[in-house]
Structure 1
Amino acid sequence: MRIIFKFIFVLFLLNLLFKGNYGIDKDYPPKNESEIVIGFVAPIGDIEFDQYITGAKYAFSKWEEAFNKRGKSIVLHRLAEDTNDILDSLSMVQYPVAGIIGPAYSGSSSTSCLVYGAFSVPSISFYATGTDLSNPSLYPYFNRVMPDDRLQVKAILSLVEKNGWTRISCVHTNEDYGNGGADQLVQQSNARGITVNTNQAITAIDGDDVPTKEEYDIVFDNLAAAKSRVIVLYAIFPKDCLGVWEKAKERGFMGKGFTWIVTDGCAELTNGYNESIVGVLATFPRYNADDNFNEFEQYIIKESGTTDGSFFKGASFSYDAAFAMLKAMDHALENGKDVWEGSDLLESIRTITFEGITGTISFDPTTGDRLHGVFSLLNLIDYNKGSFDIIGFIDPNNGTISLSQDILYSGPSYAVPSDYQVIVYDKTLNIVLGVITGVCILIVLFIGAVIVLQWRKFRYSSPLFCMFIIIGALLGLSSVFVLLPSPTVPLCSSFPWLLGLGYVILFGSLFTKTWRTWRLFSNARKFKVIRITNQYILTLVGGFILLESIFMILWTTIDRPIPLAEPIYKAGEAQLQCTSDSEAWWYVFVFYKVFYIFVGVFLAFKTRDVVDSLNESKPITLALYNLTFVMIVSIALGFILRDNPTAIIVIQIIAILLGFTVTVAVLFLPKVWKILSGQQHSVDSIGTSMDSMGRTTQDQSRGYTTQDYNNQSVGRSFSASAQGFNNVQPSNHPQLGIVYTGGEQFPRLSSLSLASKSEAEINVNSEVINKAKASENNKNNNNNDESQA
């Protein structure tokens, strides 16, 4: 709409000028055929002006000899002063000029180029980026070597996507350049699925015209409300950026956690002597593609009379704009065309291609926009130097980013900051969870100490594997302490290792130990004696550990969990969470452990009829019930509350505490309690009590008789005629039948601890044995009689 009003105003003004006495006739002023005049339009008052025009003059020096050979001279003409865009443009075409290098900026171009177009004078701007200028119906003779805002925004969004950001904010100066760039940023962000959560305008600094405190407050109040962390600053001059950053520092919007990306307007920053802006990023069209750039830079600094050694990047584009104009004129002359004929010169401009200081130069045949625009990625690393360093390049046409070094972000830090406001975990809650975990670890350590000190009383519970169960529980519980601090890469990798190995060691040891009991007694029912040594069981447990380790090595090598700030249920906020690229690793990690539950259920079922002293089916069943319940509830809540990492961590910790602590408790606390309370004097050995649950051997008090013993299941007896055990007396006694548990040698009656038995009890047992032996002999005699028959 602004352009349309400008266009109408210019036409109205031109109409008045043609009708008035302003010295401008309808016919174009006479031209000197041997002298080609090219205009140069840029704000003379700008600090960069001297280097801009020096760059153009340097290009003229390259072409002067070629034109002289054609009998032509080339002249660079500029206005004596900068007054009004329209009047200056009219003066320029009245001079007359065959072509224009400039205008420098989008605002002046949108007005001046209406005049140049009306008089069919082609122009090549070296610094205008406004996308409105790409309208051929309004600006048919406009061209530029500076990539437009559309490409610059594509370059910025390529960087945004590379860092995984999905929400940004925009602050821009309230003029043509800033407004146009901000509009492009919003449009392209929406198309890419990136949210611009706030778009704030600020008055551009122009002499005494500066933004008020109230303006700055409004901008930063809105940034705070949006919880902005990645801010694109589309400002026309470095002084505008410095003004915004000064207020940003006061409001706490500088430093670690905040990312500022500025556009080419602020990328000319040469007085950034401010430590707080270290880590600021900038995009700027590539200005140093030529191999001889250093020579060019030194020439511009020297010839322009720059005293502080500063180089303004716009000089590179001024050189390429002038070079393009002269090359197009030479091309037109070579093809017999008139360079004073605007349409002929425009056609030549849009057909040339060459390698300039800023890279490949060619123009869109319809709009005159530059086709090959590559952007430099700049980083303010050394604030003492006061300027940006080039650390890479961005090709907006395909989104590729090539870096020569890592990006330094505000902080300073090389870690990619989040686009969300990252909150930390509640320290009080972490302390409480840590204390509870410590208590659980002490309980498990206490149980482990009792097993070590009372080793013989756990003889038939395989105390070695009981200790493996304790070690597994301790590893699993220690994984809680990895969850409590703020996540780091080592902590993220340690958690699944500790939890996984702890789980496998605990339940692998428990189930292999139970498997041995099942195999021994299932073979005993078939009158077979087998040996399953501790070494063999250790091999099985080691196999489980090896499989778990292989999985963890693959995971942490291929897709290592790293801490990333993930969005949470509160808008604009995030928390650091351990994340892998693929969630499949976590699913496999959790769900393949369900296999252990099925194995445990199977073994508990198979050992349900084993004698009580070796029967752990009940505690295993309780442990599995507890584990199943915990896994179902925790996994379900984890999916429901996946946007609330604090709640997920609490659920994980509670699940770990219940899973490991309760398992150890149901397996060992009954035995430990009876030992400590004095109710059990000789657990797992034959004495006053024969089984691991502390059951008394006063069989008469339970109503057992000799007939009851003789009617015991055959699965509780061993064959006396089994190979290697010929000296062992056969017995159907329910207590003597449980002595062998897979050791190196089948225990003999003489090796049993009978010291604590009374003489009467020994006689009872001897009588039972004798009766069992007589019964076995009778059976053998009957079998022999039948065989003879």
Structure 2
Amino acid sequence: MEIGSAAIRRLVFLVLVVGYARGGFYVPDLPTKRYIKEGDINLGAIFPIGSFSRVKPCGVGLRSTVVLQFIEALVYAVDVINNSSDILPNTTLGFVILDDCLKETTTIAQSLSFIPEVNVCQSTCSANASLSQATPRYDVVGVVGSLKSSNSIAAASLLGPVHIPQISYSSTSDQLSNKVLYPYFMRVVPPDEFQAEAIVSLISQYGWSYISIVYSEGSYGEYGYKNIKKLTDKGGICIGTTNKIAEGALPNDYLKVAQDLLNHSNAKVVVVFAGPSQTKGLFTALKSLGKGTKFIFIGSDGWAKRIKNLGEVWEVGLGAFGVSFYSEEDPLYTEYFKSIRPTLNEQDPWFREFWEGHFSCTFDNSSASPCDENAMLSAANGFKPVPTVTPVMDATSTFALALHNLLADNCPGVDGSNVRSCITGPLLLDYLKNTTFNGRNGVIKFDANGNQLGRYMIHQLVRGNPYTQIKVATYDALTKKIKMSNNVTWEYVNQYSSESPESICSKPCGPREFYIQMELMCCWECKACRSNEIVSIEGTSCVSCPHFHWPEPNTNFTTCSAISPASMTWEQPLAIILMTLSSIGITATLVICAYYFKNNDAKCIKASSRELSYMMLIGVFIGYAIVFALMAKPNHFMCKTNFFFFCLSFTWIYAPLLARTCRIYRIFESGKKSNKRLVLISARSQLFLSFILIFGQLIISTCILILSTPEARLTMPVSSHKYVELSCDLTLPGVASFLSYNIVLVVICSVLAFKTRKLPDNFNESRFISTCVYTTLIIWLAFVSTYFTAGREYLKTVSLSFALILNGTVVLLFLFAPKIYATVCLNDGDCINTKSGRSTKNTGLSADGDASTTNGSASFCGGANFNKVHPINLGLPSSVSNA
């Protein structure tokens, strides 16, 4: 189109040079019909009245009967102005209406009539063509027209250089906004750049972010596409595919375009910026593919107001939105036009022809269908008011108001034909650009390029005898706002829902998904984050929650919140079981202790070293009691306390047991070799040794509390699992030191018990000790493996508690139960008057030092079968027993 414009400019320049040199113009076959009504000031007007012809300036007959409404709109506006005392008082406005037949070259030829005449024809005139054949000249201050943008470009290229302002009532091409090329061109309709704004605003209104565009080759379609592309890029709307349709495209070309649209079916919205012929070809191709109303079409004004030109394929566009500049019907003008009769409008050279075409009659009296000059125009005989004629009235009013202001400012008091000398093109252009008023379609106001910042109407194509277009929205180019109505229907493209369809490349990612950007901004792939991750602020990656935290569902998994830690509590079933077992153990310990106090002088109890027995019972009690503390909710104080008493309870049992075992071993080993009195085997010595061993544990525990303090801590075994535990960390040094020290005690006990295995058969105290320490070793070996391999902290606590309970129970069963049984079930004499079944030396001393010598025999309470308990005489002096 730019190439065509350059050719037109060169042609215009040639015409002006030749025309001015010769003093006139002559264009063969140019239409001679003109509608002229002169006044003090005249306006020129160009309308596409006659039919188009490729070989001549115009064809035969009217292009359309509708065009008469455009002509009479200007006539009506001039009459209103002349009848008004507020605009151009004492000055009449006239007009000259010419026909360009919608052909650019004809527009140029007709525009020659509006070029100011310069009298340079002298003697050369006689040698040239007769002046009667030259194109007539009319003195006009401005021109209204033309309809089509290409025709307005042709006229503006001729009128601009001679400073004649031009206002179009329908041309919307953005090319006309170029004030370098067309400085005197203006229009009362918004340019296509605002139409593109209306289209993109409609797209944004429904949240459509992925569209396709089809546009026609040439200035109209290509400029429209560029404007839409610029706005969609700015608004974050992606274009899936674009297709340009060339003039004279073949059916196969349309099929390729249709198939390309189907290949991008996610782009449900298709903008068609083209004329009716290209749109018809596209719809035909889609219909042949059986895809009918698969898309939501948004049409430019090139075809949206010409649905009838689509023929039988209009149904493909059902539900389509059409955008056109805002123009409402003027009821007063409609009544005026319907009141016109051929006999009353003989000045209009085309009106009788219009009448004949509309009523299918003729004014030839010989015709079988004579016209009725008194007939009425009505809907019954096919008359429809054309809303788009009101811009013609607004263009005429713009000239009138600008002229009124110009004369009032520059020639006050001048009226009649004298006002013409006050008007120049540049001055009038300035007043035109500064003219603002309420027109038929809203406020008329021009920007720096002479464009009207008007409004657009958006209609939707629906069924209705057979189709109709309902108004669903308006767009204001001045405020950049779109106003929707409630008339939109989606039944043609979304049969099962009244909600607006989606036109998106990719659906939004879910709450715990991040997107991987594709080539187009609107297209992405969603990937799920792991269970312990949230989506980053940018949404393009996942971020792990901090340790001991988890994605928060109440914030749609966009933030992390602390996980409520789990811990052993007294209310839990497992804790209740452990505390019940521990309570039974405590009760048994207290009962045994009470029984020992009550029978403190019984031979069997005295023979078992009462002081050490009480110490061991204290250790067992501490072990059972610490289970309750282990079941409480951990804190730093509880963890330190639990560690301290846990270590102490074990040592408090096995330190006295080691002292007892060591004493037994020394006594019997000494009895085998000599009658020499032993030292450090008294009860006081045994207690001292026990406290020394316990003190060693106290020192170790104190060092651990200082250097590697046990404390409450949070642990999360598996980062991808929502589970956090609050537990006591006994620390590796703490557990290792406890195990090392106490296992040494148990191992020594085991060794000594093993070495006393060959004692006399009737002395089985060592057997109970051996069984106790062996069982203890098994328990603690199982505890160690369980403790260090447990996957949950609460399992460590449970294993520790079970170890304490089992340890205390083993001690009670193997070291205290036999003594109580012997005391209860056997007579005291059975404990005393029994000989050894093995030959020994006469010592007069029991193994525990509490037996008395009687006739060379000693009493000792023991017996694995609990039938009788026999003393063992070691053959030592009786005085040793009191050592």
TM superposition score category, shorter chain reference = 0.5 to 0.7
Deviation at 1:590, TM superposition (A): 4.2
Deviation at 1:254, TM superposition (A): 4.3
Which of 241, 248, 264 is residue 301 of structure 2 equivalent to? 264
Deviation at 1:11, TM superposition (A): 0.8
Match of 1:363 in 2: 446
Q: 1:602 to 1:330 in 2, by over 3 A?
A: farther
Q: Contact 1:54–1:315 (CA<8 Å) still a contact in 2?
A: no
Cα shift readout 1:600-656 (whole Å, capped 9, x = no counterpart)? 3677999987647999x9xxxxxx989853679xxxxxxxxxxxxxxxxxxxxxxxx
Match of 2:195 in 1: 152
Q: Contact 1:125–1:145 (CA<8 Å) still a contact in 2?
A: yes
User: In structure 2, what is the Cα distance between the partners aligned to 1:350 and 1:32?
Assistant: 26
SS in 2 for 1:360: strand
Output the amino acid matched with 1:350: K
Q: Contact 1:99–1:121 (CA<8 Å) still a contact in 2?
A: yes
Match of 1:16 in 2: 18
Match of 1:79 in 2: 98
Q: Contact 2:88–2:403 (CA<8 Å) still a contact in 1?
A: no
Output the amino acid matched with 1:268: K
Which of 328, 346, 351 is residue 429 of structure 2 equivalent to? 346
Q: 1:400 to 1:296 in 2, by over 3 A?
A: same
Alignment of 1:102-113 (within 5 A): 102-113=145-156
Match of 1:401 in 2: 482
Deviation at 1:23, TM superposition (A): 4.3
Match of 1:377 in 2: 458
SS in 2 for 1:248: helix
Q: 1:160 to 1:22 in 2, by over 3 A?
A: same
Alignment of 1:61-460 (within 5 A): 61-66=79-84, 70-80=89-99, 82=101, 84-93=106-115, 94-203=137-246, 211-227=249-265, 228-236=267-275, 238-251=276-289, 254-256=292-294, 258-271=295-308, 274-288=314-328, 293-296=330-333, 307-337=381-411, 338-339=419-420, 340-364=423-447, 366-371=448-453, 373-384=454-465, 386-405=467-486, 407-409=488-490, 410-412=492-494, 414-420=498-504
Cα shift readout 1:65-110 (whole Å, capped 9, x = no counterpart)? 2389844443332225635221121134423322211111211111
Q: 1:97 to 1:595 in 2, by over 3 A?
A: same
Q: 1:251 to 1:627 in 2, by over 3 A?
A: farther
Alignment of 1:447-596 (within 5 A): 588-590=555-557, 595=562
Deviation at 1:576, TM superposition (A): 12
Structure 1 or 2, whichever has the larger Rg, is 2
Cα shift readout 1:389-410 (whole Å, capped 9, x = no counterpart)? 1122223444322222153345
Q: 1:81 to 1:399 in 2, by over 3 A?
A: closer
Q: Contact 1:126–1:145 (CA<8 Å) still a contact in 2?
A: yes
Q: Contact 1:41–1:101 (CA<8 Å) still a contact in 2?
A: yes
Q: 1:394 to 1:626 in 2, by over 3 A?
A: farther
- RMSD across aligned C-alpha pairs, in angstroms? 5.3
Output the amino acid matched with 2:500: V
Deviation at 1:241, TM superposition (A): 2.9
Q: Contact 1:268–1:313 (CA<8 Å) still a contact in 2?
A: no
Q: 1:594 to 1:190 in 2, by over 3 A?
A: closer
Instruction: Count how many residue pairs are aligned between Structure 1 and Structure 2.
Output: 501
Match of 2:852 in 1: none
Q: 1:351 to 1:568 in 2, by over 3 A?
A: closer
Q: 1:38 to 1:567 in 2, by over 3 A?
A: farther
Which of 76, 91, 99 is residue 58 of structure 1 equivalent to? 76
Cα shift readout 1:206-230 (whole Å, capped 9, x = no counterpart)? xxxx532133134234434555432
Output the amino acid matched with 1:419: S
Deviation at 1:36, TM superposition (A): 2.8
Q: 1:589 to 1:420 in 2, by over 3 A?
A: closer
Cα shift readout 1:662-713 (whole Å, capped 9, x = no counterpart)? xxxxxxxxxxxxxxxxxxxxxxxxxxxxxxxxxxxxxxxxx9989999xx99
Alignment of 1:592-631 (within 5 A): 595=562, 598-600=564-566, 611=577, 629=720
Match of 2:43 in 1: 38
User: In structure 2, what is the Cα distance between the partners aligned to 1:280 and 1:15?
Assistant: 50
Which runs of no fewer than 5 residues in structure 2 stay unpaired? 27-35, 52-62, 116-136, 341-353, 359-376, 412-418, 529-534, 540-550, 582-629, 631-714, 724-769, 781-800, 807-812, 822-883
Deviation at 1:49, TM superposition (A): 1.8
Q: Contact 2:213–2:242 (CA<8 Å) still a contact in 1?
A: yes
Q: 1:391 to 1:69 in 2, by over 3 A?
A: closer
Deviation at 1:126, TM superposition (A): 0.7
Q: Contact 1:567–1:575 (CA<8 Å) still a contact in 2?
A: yes
Q: Contact 2:172–2:191 (CA<8 Å) still a contact in 1?
A: yes
Q: Contact 2:100–2:107 (CA<8 Å) still a contact in 1?
A: no
Deviation at 1:352, TM superposition (A): 1.7
Q: Contact 1:255–1:412 (CA<8 Å) still a contact in 2?
A: no
Output the amino acid matched with 2:222: N
Deviation at 1:295, TM superposition (A): 4.8
User: In structure 1, what is the Cα distance between the partners aligned to 2:388 and 2:330?
Assistant: 13
Output the amino acid matched with 2:189: M
Match of 1:7 in 2: 9
Q: Contact 1:278–1:412 (CA<8 Å) still a contact in 2?
A: no
User: In structure 1, what is the Cα distance between the partners aligned to 2:277 and 2:264?
Assistant: 25
Deviation at 1:301, TM superposition (A): 6.9
Output the amino acid matched with 1:248: L
RCO higher in structure (CA 8 A, sep ≥6): 1
Q: 1:706 to 1:400 in 2, by over 3 A?
A: same
Deviation at 1:33, TM superposition (A): 8.9
SS in 1 for 2:179: coil
User: In structure 2, what is the Cα distance between the partners aligned to 1:569 and 1:287?
Assistant: 43
Output the amino acid matched with 1:74: L
Deviation at 1:369, TM superposition (A): 1.2
Deviation at 1:142, TM superposition (A): 0.8
User: In structure 2, what is the Cα distance between the partners aligned to 1:301 and 1:245?
Assistant: 37
Indicate the percent of aligned positions where both proteins have the same amino acid. 21
Q: 1:156 to 1:32 in 2, by over 3 A?
A: closer
Which runs of no fewer than 5 residues in structure 1 stay unpaired? 25-30, 205-209, 424-486, 497-560, 618-623, 633-702, 714-732, 739-766, 776-789
Output the amino acid matched with 1:276: V
Cα shift readout 1:708-737 (whole Å, capped 9, x = no counterpart)? 99xx99xxxxxxxxxxxxxxxxxxx999x9
Q: Contact 1:158–1:396 (CA<8 Å) still a contact in 2?
A: no
Match of 2:727 in 1: none
SS in 1 for 2:483: strand
SS in 2 for 1:128: coil
User: In structure 2, what is the Cα distance between the partners aligned to 1:592 and 1:199?
Assistant: 41
Cα shift readout 1:191-243 (whole Å, capped 9, x = no counterpart)? 44433343322245xxxxx532133134234434555432211123x454344
Deviation at 1:148, TM superposition (A): 0.6
Output the amino acid matched with 1:146: V
SS in 1 for 2:48: coil
